[in-house]
Amino acid sequence: MHLVRGSGTESFKEDIIDKCAKTQEKLLRKASKILKVGSEMVYSTCSVLSKENEEIIEKFLKEENFEIIPIHIENTEELPILPTKLKGTLVVKPNNFFEGFFIAKLRKKK
């Protein structure tokens, strides 16, 4: 996301991102409570921002008994993949064919 400096929109956009990240974290935690041990879930957003993705998952993994299940997709050389801080997750860059998005597959441990 591009923030225009000096326009007064910085805090507005940052507030929206913060609000979205908090909502996403709450939804993730609610889903984790109803998941049975050994079951898996997918956390996915229509965002490429670390604050809405990797940072939420990193915090969640430190506080909850979950692990990342690596995502393996064949022919990813055709996907516009962005680097991610979390091994096994996927970040796809927006282009003419895709909106940007993030995916993490998580398993509840014993």
Neighbours of 40 (CB within 10 A): 12
Flag whether 96 is in a domain.
yes
Query: Can you give the pLDDT at residue 4?
Result: 45
Q: Mean pLDDT by 10-residue block, N- to C-terminus, for the chain (110 residues)?
A: 49 85 96 96 95 97 97 82 94 90 96
Q: In total, how many domains does the chain have?
A: 1
Flag whether 4 is in a domain.
no
Query: Can you give the pLDDT at residue 21?
Result: 95
Q: Looking at the annotation, which residues are catalytic? A: 46
Query: Can you give the pLDDT at residue 98?
Result: 82
Flag whether 2 is in a domain.
no
Q: Domain containing 83: what range?
A: 10-108
Convert 91-101 to b/e letters by CB count within 10 Å (16 or more is b): bbeeeeeeebb
Flag whether 29 is in a domain.
yes
Query: Can you give the pLDDT at residue 12?
Result: 61
Flag whether 101 is in a domain.
yes
Query: Can you give the pLDDT at residue 104?
Result: 98
Flag whether 42 is in a domain.
yes
Flag whether 5 is in a domain.
no
Could you write out the DSSP letters of every residue in 67-100? EEE----TTGGGS-EEP-SSTT-EEE---SS---
DSSP structural state of residue 38: T
CATH number of residue 26's parent domain: 3.40.50.150
Query: Can you give the pLDDT at residue 75?
Result: 78
Surface-to-core class of residue 13, CB atoms within 10 Å of its CB (0-12 exposed, 13-18 middle, 19+ buried)? middle
